[in-house]
Amino acid sequence: MLADVFTTKSGIAFAKSAVLRIFVARMSPLISFIIAYHNEPPDLLRACLESIMALPLAAEEREVVVVDDGSESCPLPLVSDPTAGGDSGVRLVRQEASGLSVARNTGISRTSGKYIQFVDADDCLLPDYRAVLQLLREGSADLVMFRMSTKPSSPPHAPCPMPHAPKLQSGPSFLQHRNMRAAACGYAFRRDVLGELRFRPGLLHEDELFTPQLLLQAGKLCDLPIRAYFYRQHPGTITHAASPEKIRKRLDDIHFILNELRDFRNPLLERRVHQLTVDYMQKVWTLTHSLREFRHRSRQLRSEGFLPLPIRPYSLRHLFACLLLPLCSGR
């Protein structure tokens, strides 16, 4: 009798839990837009929010969270401004300055959308992002990747058509056979794909470590040939930081990420490790213009087994780099 009561109570509890999960799933918005903000010009944040609010999404389909990472001036007036989407459910989360990785991790923990899209506060989504939304509504892909543009808008007379039957492949297969783009903002992905994966705090170029792991966990990936994201290049971005300390930090962090990716001992990451090695050495030269520094870091990579690189035709750029690196490194 006691066993029957226990079974019955367990069954009721299980049923309640299942109903609750279904209810929460139905209440969750389609997509969460996570915006990490740190002292960007207010007009850029406004443009970012307006680009999201202009997308064909019902209020219940979207969730917009701005994570203020210890800015000198609180962006609350912008977030509350109806013209910037304040009346459409934009939320502000404030934290002490902890870096982009922690801000994005905070955004992940404070949102509930079925899909996640990171947007930098000084960037915008382009109108062709609607093709991404169509795929997300269909639910056929775990991860949708798209192109990033340095131009602020798509030609209004020539919108990119949505493929009728977009090709799906697994993330691991993509990593093995295609060239990956590291920027996390170039992907919209199902929250479930994340698992325990988060951004590593304290790193510059944190996407180089995060994105390959994300693709490894994606069962169904769709690569849309559209420009859906405007990446704004200006002196305040990380890629334009020119102080010697910042340059050293950037290079040291990429070197650290190279070792982290190799330590996974996953053959599917081999292609990415090879390409990141080339990217790293290119940045050593373009950021320092020092042959001494270039040769020093080349010897370091050689001692760790990253060099010499195998000759692989990933791209013409990669092929040329594989051939030229031994000559330029003094070996």
The residue among 196, 230, 264 that closes a domain is: 230
**pLDDT > 90 in the chain, percent:** 74
Model pLDDT for residues 45-96, shown as the tens digit of each residue: 999 999 999 999 999 999 999 999 999 988 878 787 655 554 557 999 999 9
Residue 116 and residue 30 in one domain: yes
Is 108 in contact with 198 (CB distance < 8 Å)? yes
- Tell whether the model's pLDDT for residue 21 goes beyond 50: no
Place of tokens 């920027």: 183
Label residue 299 left, alpha or beta by phi (over 0 means left) and psi (-120 to 50 means alpha): alpha
pLDDT at residue 153, rounded to an integer: 66
Domain match, 219 and 263 both? no
The answer as to whether 2 is a domain residue is no
In the predicted model, what is the mean pLDDT of residues 164-178?
90
In a domain, 38, yes or no: yes
According to the model, what pLDDT value does residue 19 have? 44
Pairing type for strands 62-69 and 31-37 reads parallel
What range defines the domain where residue 204 resides?
Answer: 23-230
Residue 166's pLDDT is 75
Nearest C-alpha neighbor of 211 from the set 192, 188, 183: 183
Of 195, 230, 265, which residue is a domain's last? 230
Quick one: which of 119, 92, 91 has its CA closest to 104?
Answer: 119
308 preceded by a cis bond (ω within 30 of 0): yes
End-of-domain residue from the set 230, 250, 274:
230
Are residues 175 and 292 part of one domain?
Answer: no
C-alpha–C-alpha distance, residues 239 and 234, integer Å: 9
Looking at the structure, do residues 175 and 291 belong to the same domain, yes or no?
no
What's the predicted TM-score (pTM) here?
Answer: 0.87
DSSP track, 141-210: -SEEEEEEESSSS--TT-PPPPPSS--EE-HHHHHHHSPPP--GGGEEEEHHHHTT--PPTT-SSTHHHH
Query: Would residue 206 count as lying in a domain?
Result: yes
What are the tokens at 168?
């799906």
- Please check whether residues 186 and 268 belong to one and the same domain: no
Domain count, the chain: 2
The CATH number of the domain where 196 resides is what? 3.90.550.10
Locate tokens 């050593």: which residue? 284
Q: What gap in Å lies between CA 40 and CA 62, rounded to an integer?
A: 23
Do residue 129 and residue 40 come from a single domain?
Answer: yes
Interval 312-325: pLDDT, tens? 999 998 999 888 88
Q: Is the pLDDT of residue 4 over 50?
A: no
Span 126-156, pLDDT tens digits: 999 999 999 999 999 999 999 999 877 655 5
Give the E-state strand segments of 206-283 in sequence order: 221-230
Give a yes or no: residue 42 inside a domain: yes
Q: Is residue 235 in a domain?
A: no
Q: Which of 15-19, 80-84, 261-265 has the lowest mean pLDDT?
A: 15-19
Q: Is 17 within the bounds of a domain?
A: no
Helix 316-328 vs helix 291-304: angle between axes, to the nearest 10 degrees? 100
Task: Please give the structure tokens belonging to residue 172.
Answer: 């691991």
Interval 94-109 mean pLDDT: 97
Of 173, 175, 210, 168, the C-alpha closest to 193 is 210
Do 143 and 187 form a contact (C-beta atoms < 8 A)?
A: yes
Please indicate, yes or no, if residue 109 is contained in any of the structural domains: yes
Q: Which long-range contacts (CB under 8 A, 24 or more apart) does 192-199 make?
A: 192/142, 193/142, 193/143, 193/217, 193/218, 193/219, 194/108, 194/116, 198/101, 198/105, 198/108, 199/100, 199/101, 199/102, 199/104, 199/105
In a domain, 79, yes or no: yes
Q: Tell whether 51 and 145 lie within a shared domain.
A: yes
Same domain, 250 and 191: no
Looking at the structure, tell me whether residues 33 and 182 fall in a common domain.
yes
Same-domain check for residues 125 and 162:
yes
Q: What average pLDDT score do residues 105-118 get?
A: 98
Residue 104's nearest CA partner among 65, 161, 53 is 65
Res 114 pLDDT > 70: yes
Out of 28-37, 177-186, 231-240, 242-251, pick the least confident: 231-240
Residues 151 and 215 in one domain: yes
* Same structural domain, 304 and 226: no
How large is the average pLDDT for residues 219-229?
Answer: 96
Residues linked to residue 115 through DSSP beta bridges, in sequence order: 31, 190
Say what percent of the chain tops pLDDT 70. Answer: 82
Computed over every residue of the chain, the mean pLDDT equals 87
